[in-house]
Amino acid sequence: MIRLRHTYGMTLRYLRAIVRQPAWVAISLVQPVIWLLLFGALFKRVADIPGFSGSYIEFLTPGVVVMLAVLSAGWTGMGFIEDIQRGVMDRFLVSPIWRGALNAGSVAGTVISILVQSLIVVGLAVLVGARFENGVLGIVVLLAVAALLAAIIGSLSNGVAVLMRERESLIGIVSLVTLPLVFLSTTLMQASLLPGWVHWASRANPVNWAVEAGRSGATQNADWSLIGSRVGLLVLLLLASATFATRAFRAYQRSI
Amino acid sequence: MPNAIEARGLEKTYGRDVRALDGLDLEVPGGTIFALLGPNGAGKSTTVKILTTLSRADRGEARVVGLDVVREAAKVRRAIGVVGQKPGFDAEATGRENLELQAEIHGIVGASRRERVDELLEQFGLTEAGDRISKTYSGGMQRRLDVALGLVHRPQVLFLDEPTTGLDPEARADMWREIERLAREERVTILLTTHYLEEADRLASRLAIIDRGKIVAEGGPNELKSELRGDSVQVELASDALDGFDAVLDSVPGIFAPAREGRFLRARAEHGAAALPALVTALERQGIAVASATVSRPSLDDVYLRYAGRSFDEADEQRKEAA
């Protein structure tokens, strides 16, 4: 109960900070629109490649939702770095706050804003003619895996932020890691059309787990055993990454 | 009253060779304002970090209100309020939101939270500014918000790490009055660190002088000053010329504990008023021109000089050069 209250309090704090930057809100609402329309136009002919089945926009929509989750959540740790550099984090660390609430609250803020962005992508996809095979349930599956993946990436970003404590280092790592994760997956390209080694690498890629499960649920004939196994893997990874982010404070406290 | 804070043999080294604490012992009686006085880099903040459970000592142990800061860290955190050297408030939130979250963390919710937050805003002169984003506050208001955040849960011990550093004189005087009021009315034990001698002199009922990671002297401000015999004599020389300097000092009766820093000569004398003219005459006879000369009762600076073997300003300067 106390843990929930602390997490709620921290979530509110991060959400408030997001909402109070109107420019940031505007950009993050426009960004998914640009992505969907840009990638949709750019890769339109992909659907003509022999071996590709279905419409590209239906294939792409779950991909863009997941891509948003990865690329936006990567920056979650910036808030932690600011808190550490200012001294706010030290105030929390000498208070009886549940340690897990620091990461959980910050990640919850990220997840909520990504869910809003994802809903915009889905709504827009419907407008340009994408069909969601399994209706609302499918969309819920897609949003759930996007949220899980965002929480994983957000926690990892927070953990790295606590260990690095420098904006430049976090920016470097996030830029280095996130795009390759997106490209080593079926986010933009069907599995059968991927080079062999990329296909092979994608199996160990959490981004791909999320894309597969989200796409199967949203725009294909939902394969529940595939969805179940991928969601299970994501949940396990989330527990591990949240533990990492919370434990990172120990290393930080030892060093100061 | 039992000791609010006790530390034994605290040691802390950063990296390989930055020795921040070198066997620090400390006893802070309950209900007092206790000042930890020392130049920058002496180990004040490290001590506070260890006592407040933020950091851990490599060696030694410490108790706050009888609780071990490592084994009973969670309980210690409930009993203490901490105002760090860096601002701890969330600049993107309003003063009220900051206080509300801090209350929430301490399990103060609902009507009692609203009441406590209003009370603190009022007490720290932030009622009107309470709903403004705190980054728009003046320096003094921001510092007061920090102190209010440390007091939300009515702690038994309040740590103030350099509470007035960076404040203008007016805001500093306000903060001093507030600290005195807290000790008097809320009966909270206050440990404050400072590198302002006058701050320790004015606020503290007891103080410890910290130098190079150790406590070198401890006691009441007047007690420490009265331990120094006689008056303080200070002479400013017109130049750095030194020939025959030591011989001069030896030749003047009633002068002891001389120390020279640049063009300043400081010493103590049984009867300053009598010794000073003799000293100036002797110096001039040696051809050492004197620019100015003063006699005063011993200050904390003299206490520091006596125990740390260098003057306070010099220690501060050395530190800045090293950094």
The closest alpha carbon to A5, from A91, A104, A83, A81, belongs to A104
A191: left (phi over 0), alpha (psi -120 to 50) or beta: alpha
3-class SS letters over B65-90: CCEECCCCHHHHHHHEEEECCCCCCC
Report pLDDT digits (tens) over B67-90: 999 999 999 999 999 999 999 999
Report pLDDT digits (tens) over B180-233: 999 999 889 999 999 888 899 899 999 999 999 999 999 998 888 877 778 888
Within 8 A by CB and 6+ apart from A48, the residues are none
Report pLDDT digits (tens) over A47-91: 888 888 788 899 999 999 999 999 999 999 999 999 999 999 999
Q: Does residue A101 contact residue A146 with C-beta atoms inside 8 Å?
A: no
Q: Which H helix or E strand runs over B20?
A: strand B18-29
Distance (Å) from the C-alpha of residue A18 to the closest C-alpha of chain B?
10
Q: What is the DSSP string of A3-52?
A: HHHHHHHHHHHHHHHHHT-HHHHHHHHHHHHHHHHHHHHHTGGGGGSTT-
The closest alpha carbon to A125, from A186, A68, A49, A193, belongs to A68
Q: What are phi and psi of A194, to 5 degrees?
A: -80, 150
Inter-chain contact A9–B101, Cβ cutoff 8 Å? yes
Say what the pLDDT of residue B28 is: 96
Within 8 A by CB and 6+ apart from A189, the residues are A46
Inter-chain contact B104–A87, Cβ cutoff 8 Å? no
Query: CA angle at residue A185 from A147 to A121, to 5 degrees?
Result: 45
The two structure tokens encoding residue B186: 């809320």
* CB-nearest partner of B90 from A88, A90, A96: A88
Number of residues written out for chain A: 256
B134-153 core/surface letters (b: 16 or more CB in 10 A; e: else): beebeebbbbbbbbbbbbbb
Mutate to test the interface with A, among B18, B58, B101, B143 (most CBs of A within 10 A): B101
Say what the pLDDT of residue B321 is: 64
* CB-nearest partner of A86 from B53, B86, B149: B86
* Residues of A within an 8 Å Cβ radius of B: 2, 5-6, 9-10, 12-13, 16-17, 20, 83, 86-88, 90-97, 253-254, 256
CA terminus-to-terminus distance, chain B: 41
- A176 — pLDDT class (breaks 50, 70, 90): very high
ipTM here: 0.91
Distance (Å, whole) CA B252 – CA B301:
24
Mutate to test the interface with A, among B83, B90, B98, B152 (most CBs of A within 10 A): B90
Contacts of B74 in chain A (CB under 8 A): 96
Mean pLDDT of A200-212: 96
Size of interface A-B (CB pairs under 8 A): 75
Q: Which residues pair with B82 in a beta bridge?
A: B159
Distance (Å) from the C-alpha of residue A87 to the closest C-alpha of chain B?
5
Inter-chain contact B105–A6, Cβ cutoff 8 Å? yes
User: Which stretches within chain B are classed as H helix?
Assistant: 44-51, 73-79, 95-105, 110-123, 139-151, 169-181, 197-203, 221-226, 245-251, 272-285, 300-308, 312-322
Q: Does residue A116 contact residue A68 with C-beta atoms inside 8 Å?
A: no
CA-based nearest residue in chain A for residue B20 = A256
CA-based nearest residue in chain B for residue A88 = B88
> Which domains, and CATH codes, for chain B?
3-224 (3.40.50.300), 229-297 (3.30.70.980)
Q: What is the DSSP string of B137-179?
A: S-HHHHHHHHHHHHHTT--SEEEEESTTTT--HHHHHHHHHHH
The model carries a pTM of 0.88
Least-confidence region, from A35-44, A111-120, B97-106, B202-211: A35-44
Contacts of B52 in chain A (CB under 8 A): 94
- CA-based Rg of chain A, rounded to a whole angstrom? 19
Q: Indicate the DSSP class of residue B136.
A: G
Within 8 A by CB and 6+ apart from A9, the residues are A101, A105, B101, B104, B105
How many C-beta neighbours within 10 Å does residue B5 have?
Answer: 23
Mean pLDDT of A209-218: 96
Q: Indicate the DSSP class of residue B231.
A: E
Report pLDDT digits (tens) over B231-243: 888 888 887 766 6
CA terminus-to-terminus distance, chain A: 31
* CB-nearest partner of B74 from A10, A87, A96: A96
* CB-nearest partner of A94 from B82, B85, B86: B82
